[in-house]
């Protein structure tokens, strides 16, 4: 077996400089006429170690982390030319103890089974790893449409977009409605700030999504497929287009596909134009039809009357990526993972103040603490873990004392958050929970489509209250007013956006009421984030008298002579924070 060198070229990797690494290795290969195969792959999930380079030779597999161009040259020289792996740079291997062995070892990869292993632009590599075998199995064993749906039902797979509706049931509804035209839509409008699972799957393994869609189309009798993808994911769209072309060439899309008489199915991509509400099924349909993405009343459900008034089945990227595995390995194999009501695995995007930010896939039922500490490696800079935000703008903050909650749909919902699409943003003691609530509400207010008054006006009013609390102008009764508005919005909104928009506020009030009270009553921000509540002072011990803060202060509140400690006049200071960010000696203190 020859030696292969694989470079991870997902969006994160590219941002960390993986393209330069790839070009460097490629140049070294040409210059030295080196004998190895150079491959590209996508996200391995270990974003915090990017750029990643994997070398597989006769002895085993070595994953090198943080490979910039210099390190690349060193690795090629020592490992390839002299056959001496550089143990210090290896982050994962099956041969010896490496720092990230546990990170990979604790995961169960079903959705991400191919991510980071195959070249996403090669259909051959997908097929070499059991790609398109699930649909071929259906053909070869003459598995009926009902049996396919039954398998999905039995697997216990629930919608991974966040709602958690059983996928098999959804398919059954869509199948039961008779029509000449039916649609399968893949929802790839991943709008949650802090979530990038779908992007990684589309960039890393686009064929698995196509295969899942083809199987869904077979099961419900759909003729057309649409992938509604964010225009903000250009790399994902590019790779999907390549995958679609390859599938066409092989006859996996088109007429009488896979030799099934009368099974016509074609898929096209529709680029979203940037509206969070389009993650909602009926809004998404309106957007594909070329209108403003505003939700419609249900019923009729899309399964009865969806895109162009035809029966339509909508699933999320991750849901589709699960399907081929389930068909191939069987419902029981899938249901072995997870809890009673939430089967299988879930992909999470770990980010925020966690050491190992990246993509992880874990069986349902793991505790949040294990995800953050075992896989995530704990909190950055030895700070204290405070809370984790799950479910994005529709979710909530789960406090540290509830971190033994297990990840499954029902347990997470019980805390007031939601599973959502799988974003996990970790927060430490320096994160202000009132500020976080304000951040999310600001997002949902901007993204509210404006159809329902309570969502349109209510979120605005809530934001105004939060804004004044963070400015030190909070009044008694503000918390109660926030709660009242929150319940009104939840009860009187048509779609998921409005129904869940107050969740970040409600959960932070529930678990961090003391922080709200500190802002309102003592006019203090315990996490030292809300600037108007802070006092800026110069530490005379550390101040070198360099005059930088003095020159940069926009209101001339700082006085002092060169080489003498400066002073901030509190009466003039507008608390803009400029001195803090300009000081090179950490002499500006906040309290």
Partner 1 sequence: MRITRIQSGKKPNLVDEPDLSLLDPLIASQKGKKGSLIPLLQGTQEIYGYIPRAAFEKVSYETGIPLSNMFGVVTFYAQFRLHPVGKMIIKVCHGTACHVQQAREISESLEEALKIKDGETTEDRFFTLESVACLGCCSLAPVMMVGDQTYGKLTGNEAVKIVKNIKLAENN
Interface positions with partner 1 (CB under 8 A): 11-12, 14-16, 47-48, 50, 190-196, 199, 230-234, 237, 270-271, 273-276, 287-293, 308, 349-353, 357-358, 389, 392, 423, 425, 427, 431, 436, 439-440, 443, 446, 449, 577, 581
- Shortest distance in whole angstroms from residue 170 CB to partner 1: 23
- Shortest distance in whole angstroms from residue 126 CB to partner 1: 23
- Shortest distance in whole angstroms from residue 339 CB to partner 1: 27
**CB nearer to partner 1: pick between 96 and 268:** 268
**CB nearer to partner 1: pick between 77 and 266:** 266
The rounded distance, in Å, linking the Cα atoms of 307 and 304 is 10
The rounded distance, in Å, linking the Cα atoms of 244 and 550 is 60
Residue 209: partners with Cβ closer than 8 Å, 6 or more residues away: 186, 188, 201, 202, 227, 240, 317, 320, 321
The rounded distance, in Å, linking the Cα atoms of 384 and 396 is 19
Structure tokens at 403: 């971190």
- Give how far the C-alpha of residue 491 lies from the chain's centroid of Cα atoms, to the nearest Å: 28
153: number of CA atoms within 13 Å, CB side? 13
- Shortest distance in whole angstroms from residue 515 CB to partner 1: 15
Angle, helices 453-470 vs 503-520, to 10°: value is 30
- Shortest distance in whole angstroms from residue 234 CB to partner 1: 4
Residue pair 567/559 in contact by the 8 Å Cβ criterion:
yes
DSSP for 279-336, please give it.
GSHHHHHHHHTTS------SSSPTTTS-GGGS-EEEEEHHHHHHHHHHHHH-HHHHHT
CA angle (132, 133, 139) in 5-degree steps: 100
- Shortest distance in whole angstroms from residue 49 CB to partner 1: 9
3-class DSSP state for residue 188? strand
Q: Residue by residue, what is the 3-state secondary structure of 426-460?
A: EEECCCCHHHHHHHHHHHHHHHCCCCCHHHHHHHH
- Shortest distance in whole angstroms from residue 423 CB to partner 1: 7
The rounded distance, in Å, linking the Cα atoms of 417 and 388 is 10
Residue pair 122/113 in contact by the 8 Å Cβ criterion:
no
- Give how far the C-alpha of residue 301 lies from the chain's centroid of Cα atoms, to the nearest Å: 27
**CB nearer to partner 1: pick between 408 and 435:** 435
**CB nearer to partner 1: pick between 351 and 506:** 351
- Shortest distance in whole angstroms from residue 343 CB to partner 1: 27
Select from 262, 263, 266, 294 the least CA-distant residue to 278.
294
- Shortest distance in whole angstroms from residue 435 CB to partner 1: 8
3-class DSSP state for residue 171? helix
**CB nearer to partner 1: pick between 308 and 487:** 308
**CB nearer to partner 1: pick between 358 and 496:** 358
**CB nearer to partner 1: pick between 232 and 266:** 232
- Shortest distance in whole angstroms from residue 137 CB to partner 1: 34
DSSP for 92-139, please give it.
EESSS--TTHHHHHT---STTSSTTTS-TT-HHHHHHTTTTHHHHHHH
DSSP state of 384: P
DSSP state of 189: -
- Shortest distance in whole angstroms from residue 543 CB to partner 1: 19
**CB nearer to partner 1: pick between 234 and 251:** 234
**CB nearer to partner 1: pick between 237 and 538:** 237
Select from 38, 94, 35 the least CA-distant residue to 63.
94
**CB nearer to partner 1: pick between 290 and 299:** 290
**CB nearer to partner 1: pick between 354 and 364:** 354
**CB nearer to partner 1: pick between 219 and 432:** 432
Place of tokens 């899938």: 334
- Shortest distance in whole angstroms from residue 420 CB to partner 1: 12
């Amino acid at each position: 077996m020859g030696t292969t060198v694989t470079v991870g070229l997902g969006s994160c990797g590219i941002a960390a400089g993986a393209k330069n690494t790839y070009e460097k290795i490629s140049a070294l290969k040409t210059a030295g006429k080196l004998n190895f195969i150079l491959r590209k792959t996508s996200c391995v999930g270990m974003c915090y170690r990017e750029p990643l380079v994997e070398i597989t030779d006769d002895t085993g597999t070595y994953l090198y982390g943080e490979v910039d161009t210099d390190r690349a040259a060193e690795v090629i020289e020592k490992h390839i030319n002299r056959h001496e792996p550089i143990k210090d740079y290896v982050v994962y291997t099956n041969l010896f103890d490496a720092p990230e062995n546990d990170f990979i070892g604790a995961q169960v990869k079903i959705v991400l089974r191919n991510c980071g292993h195959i070249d996403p632009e090669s259909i051959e590599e997908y097929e070499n790893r059991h790609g398109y075998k699930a649909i071929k199995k259906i053909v070869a064993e003459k598995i009926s449409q009902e049996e396919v749906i039954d398998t999905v039902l039995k697997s216990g797979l629930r919608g991974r977009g966040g709602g958690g509706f059983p996928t098999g049931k959804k398919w059954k509804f869509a199948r039961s409605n008779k029509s000449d035209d039916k649609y399968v839509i893949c929802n790839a409008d991943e709008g949650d700030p802090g979530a990038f699972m779908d992007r990684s799957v589309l960039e890393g393994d686009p064929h698995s999504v196509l295969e899942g869609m083809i199987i869904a189309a077979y099961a419900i009798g759909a003729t057309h497929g649409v992938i509604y993808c964010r225009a903000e994911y250009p790399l994902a769209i590019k790779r999907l287009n390549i995958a679609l072309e390859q599938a066409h060439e092989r006859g996996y899309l088109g007429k009488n596909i896979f030799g099934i008489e009368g099974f016509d199915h074609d898929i096209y991509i529709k680029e979203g134009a940037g509206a969070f509400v389009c993650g909602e099924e009926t809004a998404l349909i309106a957007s594909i039809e070329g209108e403003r993405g505003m939700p419609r009343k249900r019923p009729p459900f899309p399964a009865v009357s969806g895109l162009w008034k035809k029966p339509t089945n909508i699933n999320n990227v991750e849901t589709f990526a699960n399907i081929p595995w389930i068909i191939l390995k069987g419902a029981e194999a899938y249901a072995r993972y997870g809890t009673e009501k939430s089967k299988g695995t879930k992909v999470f995007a770990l980010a925020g103040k966690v050491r190992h930010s990246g993509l992880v896939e874990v069986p349902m039922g793991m505790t949040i603490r294990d995800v953050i500490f075992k896989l995530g490696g704990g909190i950055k800079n030895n700070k204290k873990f405070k809370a984790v935000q799950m479910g994005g703008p529709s979710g909530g903050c789960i406090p540290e004392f509830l971190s033994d909650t297990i990840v499954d749909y029902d347990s997470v919902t019980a805390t007031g958050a939601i599973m959502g699409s799988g974003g996990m943003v970790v927060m430490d003691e320096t994160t202000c929970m009132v500020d976080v609530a304000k951040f999310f509400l600001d997002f949902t207010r901007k993204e509210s489509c404006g159809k329902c008054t309570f969502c349109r006006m209510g979120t605005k009013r809530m934001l105004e209250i939060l804004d004044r609390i963070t400015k030190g102008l909070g009044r008694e009764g503000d918390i109660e007013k926030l709660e009242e508005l929150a319940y009104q919005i939840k009860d009187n909104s048509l779609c998921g956006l409005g129904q869940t928009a107050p969740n970040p506020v409600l959960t932070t009030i529930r678990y961090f009421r003391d922080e709200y009270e500190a802002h309102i009553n003592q006019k203090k921000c315990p996490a030292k984030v809300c600037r108007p509540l802070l006092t800026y002072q110069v530490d005379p011990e550390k101040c070198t008298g360099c005059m930088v803060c003095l020159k940069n202060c926009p209101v001339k509140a700082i006085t002092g002579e060169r080489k003498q400690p400066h002073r901030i006049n509190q009466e003039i200071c507008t608390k803009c924070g400029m001195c803090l960010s300009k000081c090179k000696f950490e002499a500006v203190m906040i309290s």
